[in-house]
Structure 1
Amino acid sequence: MILPVLDQNLALLLAAVAVAGVARGLSGFGTGMIVTPIAAALYDPITAVVLIVIIDSLPMLPVTIPVLKIARWREVLPILAGLGVFVPVGIYILKHGDPALLRWFICLTILVCVLALWRGWRYRGPRSLPISFSVGGLAGVLSGIASLPGPPVIVYWLATALPAAIVRANLLALFFLSEFLSIGNLWAAGLFEMPRLMLGLTATPFYLTGLLLGWGLYGRSSEQVYRRFTFALVVAAALIAMPTSEYVVRAAISALAA
């Protein structure tokens, strides 16, 4: 097992991972939406998904285990079932899709999700088992393609009458269990190649450091400030990682050189 060489790409990735950890510690979300587009741009979309699965699993254990006993499993399990069925669909698209098109899809999907969360959009329709399963299915496809299962579920659950603490517990329980589903499917698809695994292990301490820093900063300002900070980071990451940004950077460099 050989650790990745510290080059410009790795340095940028580790910085993004640390910033995502701070955002997650402050606001409770943002890891995938910040790291995935940056990692996909610096390496490739498959590496980005594998990286997220690694860094966002073990470090979340201390936060997740205590809330498992208060999660409403009748709410969690139908969505988890849909997610489990459709994660392989997303991974198939990830494995066989065109990397450039996947980068566009990831960036644009993140921007749409941020807009939905920023505007406070909520699902107001029926909440039957088929609907919950369908929401889980959409989350599963997004999880397989870009490690982004959160936005559909957040939009669906935040409009319920459940207490905020229960919604948080449900989300943590769902994402914790979905990590195992993602790990199993990525492994079965042969995407856990050693360089990607070592990259994830290298990035984990940086993510954990940022996570602890974010937890330490939590409570020093309003939740609205944290959310705005995280949304700004997510939007910046998605815009920077868009394929067109490379042409803009190259054009700027050429202009400066001239």
Structure 2
Amino acid sequence: MTAAFFTLLVCFIGGALQSLIGFGCAIIMMALLPYLISPIPLVSGMTSVICFLCSLALTLKYRRPVHLRRILPVFAAYLVLLPISNRIALALPPGRMKLYLGLALVLMSAYYLMCSGKTLRLPRTLPVALAVGMLSGILSGLFTMGGPPVVLYAMSASDDKEDYLGMIQFYFTITNLSNSVVRIAAGVITPAVLPWIAVGMTGTAAGMLAAKPLQGRLNWDALRRWTYVMIGVVGVNNILSAL
């Protein structure tokens, strides 16, 4: 019961963050849920399904024409690296996987904290799109956290905020679906995981609904910064406990 409650709470926070800034749900879940559920690949599979449903809802909310020629090369490169990195994740010892997850969390925390409030633009070129997709595929296969490089790319490839939200949520929908299919085929997602997915999806949906009326009342930039500070602390703890 305690694990279910905290799973609900973690997913509530992730859903609220995803609804407000367009990403963050998977990172929150991968940072905190391994303390409640193990092994890490199981949490990754659960996260991919929940984030697929979350991003699908936001894609429908921000439905508008998507610049497919800008995002499809990213997705193509993602598909190449996803199954390879997922096999690596399943083969790694739990202690090594925890260490790598901790390193990934610390790097992502530093990335978002350093980039907060800054405008970084990537060239809209095919090599950049392919490199972003490959990095996203590696991070997704290992930890279901392939969003950060694509967020930066989408910001550069979008014409305005609505265009960015539509593009990034469309990308998350198709990649989370692909991620889920790969993990089902690998035997990571089984019927035994469905109750946890149901609990997590309930929390995520509640977080998305709660975020809407609070958008104008809270300092979400400050909340986002503190969120990624917390993710960095969790990452450091993972590293120390794995050594």
Q: TM-score, normalised by structure 2?
A: 0.87
Q: Superposition pairs for residues 167-182 of structure 1, below 5 Å?
A: 167-182=164-179
Q: Pick from 36, 39, 52: which aligns with 1:42? A: 36
**1:124 shift after superposition:** 5.1
1:26-72 CA-partner distances (Å, limit 9, x unpaired): 33221111111211232221121112112222244332025443211
1:143-202 CA-partner distances (Å, limit 9, x unpaired): 111111110112233245632221221111110111111111111111112222221122
Percent identity between matched residues is 21
* Amino acid of the structure 1 residue aligned with 2:150: V
- Corresponding position of 2:185: 188
**1:125 shift after superposition:** 5.7
- Corresponding position of 2:107: 112
1:79-99 CA-partner distances (Å, limit 9, x unpaired): 011111111122112211122
Distance in structure 1 (CA, Å) of the matches to 2:34 and 2:199:
17
* Amino acid of the structure 2 residue aligned with 1:226: W
Alpha carbons of structure 1 residues 239 and 13: separation in structure 2 relative to 1, 3 Å: farther
Gaps of 5+ in 1: 1-5, 248-258
- Corresponding position of 1:82: 77
Gaps of 5+ in 2: none
The alignment status of 1:211 with 2:208, answered yes or no, reads yes
Q: Which stretch has the larger CA shift, 188-197 or 18-27? A: 18-27
Q: Superposition pairs for residues 19-58 of structure 1, below 5 Å?
A: 19-43=13-37, 44-58=39-53
Distance in structure 1 (CA, Å) of the matches to 2:82 and 2:22:
23
| RMSD (Å), alpha carbons | 2.4
Q: Which stretch has the larger CA shift, 166-175 or 154-163? A: 154-163
What is the number of equivalent residue pairs in this alignment?
238
* Amino acid of the structure 2 residue aligned with 1:93: I
Distance in structure 1 (CA, Å) of the matches to 2:202 and 2:122:
42
Distance in structure 1 (CA, Å) of the matches to 2:233 and 2:128:
32
Q: Which stretch has the larger CA shift, 142-151 or 68-77? A: 68-77
* Amino acid of the structure 1 residue aligned with 2:6: L
